[in-house]
Structure 1
Amino acid sequence: MTDAGSFWEDPDRVEEFAGREPDRRLVELLESFEQPGVTRVLDLGCAGGRNTAVLAERGFDVQAIDSSSSMVARTRGRVETLLGNGEAERRVRVGRMEDLSDFASGSFQLVVALGVYHNAVSEEKWEQALKETARVLVPHGLVLVATFTPDFRPHGEKLRRVAGSSHLYEGFDAGPLYLLEADELDAEMARHGMVPVVPTETVEAATDTGRRVTANGLYRKRGR
C-alpha cells in the first residue's frame, strides 16, 4: 500500500487522470444550464482537470480544488490558455473537501463530486465533507456524485472493513476508503438536506485487475 499523499502526487498517475475523457453524466447535465456564464460550479477533487477543462471551455464560472498540488498544477496548465495564468491560479487551488472555508455559503449552483467523497479517511471527515457541500450550495443547487461502493474489487479480492468502522475499507493502493451502497449514500445525502433528482444507480465495470463498482447519483439541495 502506498501513502495516500505520494500516491496522488505521482507524475504518471497525474497524467493518467489528466488523459481521461470528461464525465459523460456531467457533459449531459451541462446542457440543462442556459446561462453558463452566470452559473457557478465547484469541481471538488478536480484531479487532472478533465472536468474542470470542459467547464471552462463551455464558459461556466468554475472553481476547482484538489488536495494534490501536482493535480492542481496539471489542471491549471489545462485551463490557463482559456482563462489566463492569473485566473487559472485564482480558480484552481489546493484544498480539501471537508474544509471549503474559502467559499461563502450559497456560492454554487452545481458541485461536481466525482470520485472524491470515498477518499474520506474517517467518519468525521465524511460528515464534514457532506456538511460543507451542502453549505456552499445555493437552495435547489445540484451535486453530481460518483463514489465507490463496498463491492469494488480493485485487485479481484473482497475488501476488508477497518476494525471499529462501519464504512472504512482496506484493499486500495492509496489507503483505506469510505464506502457506501447506493441506498446508504441517498440516506447520508438526505440527512444533509440533499435529495435524489433521479434514482441513484449502482454501476459495475471490469478493470484490468478486478471490478469497479460505483454509486452514481444526482442530488438537489432542499430549498428554504
Structure 2
Amino acid sequence: MDRNIRTVDDVMKLLDGLFAPGADRWTADGASWWDGFYADRSRPVPFFVSKPDENLASLVDRGLIKPGRALDLGCGPGRNAIYLASMGFEVDAVDLSPTAISWAEDRATDAGVEVRFRCGDAFDLPTGEPDRPYDLIYDSGCFHHLPPHRRVSYRSLLDRALAPGGHLALTCFATGAMGSELNDADFYEQSRLHGGLAYTPESLRWIFSDLAEIELRRMRDEPAESPLFGEPFLWTALFRARGR
C-alpha cells in the first residue's frame, strides 16, 4: 500500500504517470522520442530550418523586447536561441533531447555565437539566479506539449525566473488549425496528449492573466525563401510581467 503524496510535486508526478510511456513527450521519459525525432537532420520538418520565428524577429525589430538575459524553453536545434544571441542577448536554452542539444551546439559554433545549452526538464533545472532573473522567456512550441496540470509548473517557472517587467513570448497551436481540442479532463481519461493541445486566444489570456498582454496574433505564413520561419497554424503572443 502506497501513501507517497505529501507535496505538490508528488501530485504532479502522480498525474504525469497517468500518461502512457511516450505519450508525455515533455518529460524525461519523452527524451528518447525526441531523440528519434531529431536524429535525421535532413528530414523535411518545417522547424528544422535554421531560421528564427518571424514573430520573434518582429518583436526585436520593433523594440518590444531588448537585449538582456533570455531563456529559450524547448529550444530544439537552437534556431531561436542562436538568433537571440546574435542580437546581443545572453542566452540559456534548454531541451529534453541530447540529440537536439548536440545539433544546437553545432549550429551555435557555426554561427560564432555563445549560448549556454542545457539538456533536461526545464522544471527541474536551475533556471535563473535569484539576483539575475530573465528579461525574456521564449517558448516556440513547448507550451502546447504540456499536459494540463503542468501549466501550474509553467506558471511557477515564470514566477521564479521572469524579471519584473520581463517578457514571456510564445507560439502554440491554434484551435481550428492544429492540435487537439479535447477538454482537459479527456486527456487523462485517454492517457494521451494527441500530439499537442490547441488553444484559443481567450484560454491563453486566462492562463496568463497575471501578466499584461502586449500582443496576441496568428503567426504569419513565411515562404520557403524567407529568412524567417512562419506557420499560420500557430498563435504568437507577448506578455509582460507586472512590476513584482
TM category (shorter chain) comes to 0.7 to 0.9
1:196 paired to 2:187: no
After TM superposition, the score normalised by the length of structure 1 is: 0.74
Most deviating of 27-36 and 122-131: 27-36
Q: Counterpart of 1:107?
A: 133
Q: What's the offset of the Cα at 1:29?
A: 1.7
Kindly tell me: are residues 183 and 66 of structure 1, through their superposed partners in 2, closer, same or farther at Cα, counting changes over 3 Å?
A: same
The secondary structure found in structure 1 opposite 2:40 is: helix
- Counterparts of 1:160 and 1:63 in 2: how far apart (Å)? 32
- Counterparts of 1:144 and 1:160 in 2: how far apart (Å)? 22
Pairs within 5 Å for 1:1-224: 3=22, 4=25, 5=30, 6-9=32-35, 10=37, 11-12=39-40, 16=45, 17-31=47-61, 32=63, 36=67, 39-81=68-110, 82-83=112-113, 88=115, 91-105=116-130, 107-120=133-146, 122-153=147-178, 159=180, 161=182, 164-165=185-186, 175-190=194-209, 193-198=210-215, 200-202=216-218, 213-224=233-244
Percent of aligned pairs sharing the same letter: 24
Q: What's the offset of the Cα at 1:150?
A: 3.5
Q: 2:54 touches 2:220 (CA, 8 Å); kept in 1?
A: no
- Counterparts of 2:150 and 2:184 in 1: how far apart (Å)? 17
Unmatched 5+ stretches in structure 2: 1-20, 222-230
* Corresponding residue pairs, total: 202
Higher RCO (CA 8 Å, separation ≥ 6 residues): 2
Match of 2:60, as an amino acid? L
More strand by share: 1
Q: Deviations over 1:90-134 (max 9, x none)?
A: x101132433434234511111111110110x2221221122023
After TM superposition, the score normalised by the length of structure 2 is: 0.69
